[in-house]
């Protein structure tokens, strides 16, 4: 058994067919300071494909020549995943996708009064732009998912009108978008449910959420419960401000807490996460769910005494996510930490020697304000 989560969640399980739309290469690259070359994006697209992601947003080709080239490379990579593009409700954006031969795209447009006022565009004019862009894209054979930017802060009446009109104009799918990450999970569930009613049960609903209040994963799960069949997000949760919904975390929660399997390969998530960080030149917290360095490392002596029994101290197995379990030494170590580390390093120590070493390890860890390395531990055994 890979999960040791008990029975608490059983009454709250639900049935759903959840698939993932990844926007790491577009929305994820909007992380401050991140620059991905076309070659980087091709490598990452292949990695996302191996992860089991069903749809990959290759990028916004009109941003730059590099973005255009990245879309070309990914388009020709022979991936199992569907390759999608990104377009504003602008004819030139759609034409670029058609020229590139990208057959599916989100078409985005701001719909909150705050966004419209910032752009100096009224509701009726924006609605006309949306209808024209979607109609034009559909005429060119492009599958469209309408993406209402800042939809969670839009006037509900206008939201309903826009989404109904987008579907009437030819959009085949609809994305509920929490651009600023302000929607609680309960509000997301409500809005997804109402959107399904407005556009019709036959129209697939996506959810695209950001993490400004730390609720992106919870909101995505609520969206899935309410009937969203596509969850949009990124790996590592990268993106603007506090980032996007983190797809591997959502897959982990769906499987471990709700019993819903997805196609995302949890056993490949940590390796892909690490490579993405290398290419993007940023670090993650060591206590990050699923991919953090500390998830299966134990320093506390109280926990080390239970290290032999993973279900006692972990909610899921290290094998599930292809991670290694280990004991590390420092200020918080206990006698069991010393014993396990000595056995690991092939050192035979008497009980008295172990107790003496524990004192030295704690002293060194406190002095260093960090961990005691294996080499330092060996040196302590000599002195």
Three-state SS string over 64-119 comes to CHHHHHHHHHHHCCCCCCEEEEEEECCHHHHHHHHHHCCCEEEEEEECCHHHHHHH
CA distance 360 to 346: 19
Domains along the sequence of the chain with CATH: 15-280 (3.20.20.70), 297-382 (no CATH)
- Nearest Cα neighbor of 360 from 320, 326, 333 is 333
- Nearest Cα neighbor of 74 from 104, 29, 24, 39 is 39
DSSP helix, strand, coil percent of the chain (3-state; round to 5): 50, 15, 35
pLDDT tens-place values along the chain, 383 residues long: 699 999 999 999 999 999 999 999 999 999 999 999 999 999 999 999 999 999 999 999 999 999 999 999 999 999 999 999 999 999 999 999 999 999 999 999 999 999 999 999 999 999 999 999 999 999 999 999 999 999 999 999 999 999 999 999 999 999 999 999 999 999 999 999 999 999 999 999 999 999 999 999 999 999 999 999 999 999 999 999 999 999 999 999 999 999 999 999 999 999 999 999 999 999 999 999 999 999 999 999 999 899 999 999 999 999 999 999 999 999 999 999 999 999 999 999 999 999 999 999 999 999 999 999 999 999 999 87
- Nearest Cα neighbor of 72 from 85, 63, 81 is 85
Q: Kind of pairing, strands 82-88 and 19-22?
A: unpaired
Prediction pTM value: 0.94
CB neighbours of residue 111 within 10 Å: 28
CA angle 3, 258, 256 (to 5 degrees): 20
CA distance 270 to 323: 8
CA distance 364 to 329: 10
CB neighbours of residue 124 within 10 Å: 8
- Nearest Cα neighbor of 186 from 147, 234, 225 is 225
DSSP string, 263-321: S--HHHHHHHHHHHHHHHT----TT-TTT-TTTTEE--HHHHTTTT-HHHH-SB-GGGG
Q: Kind of pairing, strands 205-209 and 230-233?
A: parallel
Q: Which residues contact 59 (CB under 8 A, 6 or more apart)?
A: 25, 26, 29, 41, 67, 70, 71, 74, 85, 86
pLDDT digits (tens, 9 = 90+) for 313-341: 999 999 999 999 999 999 999 999 999 99
CA distance 358 to 366: 12
pLDDT digits (tens, 9 = 90+) for 64-90: 999 999 999 999 999 999 999 999 999
């Amino acid at each position: 058994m890979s999960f040791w989560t008990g029975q608490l969640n059983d009454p709250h399980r639900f049935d759903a067919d959840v698939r993932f739309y990844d926007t790491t290469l577009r929305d994820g690259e909007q992380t401050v300071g991140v620059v991905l070359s076309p070659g980087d994006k091709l490598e990452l697209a292949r990695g996302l494909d191996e992860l089991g992601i069903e749809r990959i947003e290759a990028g916004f080709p009109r941003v730059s020549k590099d973005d255009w080239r990245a879309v070309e490379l990914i388009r020709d990579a022979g991936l199992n995943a569907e390759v999608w593009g990104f377009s504003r409700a602008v004819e030139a954006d759609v034409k670029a996708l058609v020229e590139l031969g990208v057959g599916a795209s989100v078409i985005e447009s701001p719909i909150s009064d705050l966004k419209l006022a910032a752009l100096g565009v009224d509701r009726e004019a924006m609605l006309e732009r949306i209808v024209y862009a979607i109609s034009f894209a559909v005429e060119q054979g492009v599958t469209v998912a309408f993406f209402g930017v800042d939809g969670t802060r839009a006037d509900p009446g206008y939201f309903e009108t826009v989404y109904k009109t987008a579907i009437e104009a030819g959009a085949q799918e609809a994305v509920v978008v929490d651009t600023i990450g302000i929607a609680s999970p309960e509000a997301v569930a409500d809005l997804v449910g109402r959107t399904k009613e407005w556009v019709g049960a036959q129209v697939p609903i996506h959810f695209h959420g950001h993490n400004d209040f730390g609720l992106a994963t919870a909101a995505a799960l609520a969206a899935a419960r309410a009937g969203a069949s596509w969850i949009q997000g990124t790996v590592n949760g990268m993106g603007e401000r506090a980032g996007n919904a983190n797809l591997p975390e959502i897959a982990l929660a769906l499987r471990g807490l709700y019993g819903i399997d997805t196609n995302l390969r949890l056993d490949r998530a940590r390796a892909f996460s690490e490579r993405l960080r290398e290419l993007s030149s940023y670090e993650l917290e060591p206590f990050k769910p699923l991919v953090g360095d500390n998830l299966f490392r134990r320093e506390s002596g109280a926990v080390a005494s239970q290290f032999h029994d993973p279900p006692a101290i972990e909610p899921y197995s290290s094998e599930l996510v292809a991670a290694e379990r280990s004991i590390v030494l420092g200020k918080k170590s206990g006698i069991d930490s010393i014993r396990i580390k000595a056995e690991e390093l092939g050192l035979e120590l008497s009980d008295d020697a172990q107790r003496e070493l524990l004192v030295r390890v704690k002293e060194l860890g406190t002095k260093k304000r960090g961990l005691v390395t294996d080499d330092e531990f060996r040196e302590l055994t000599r002195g």
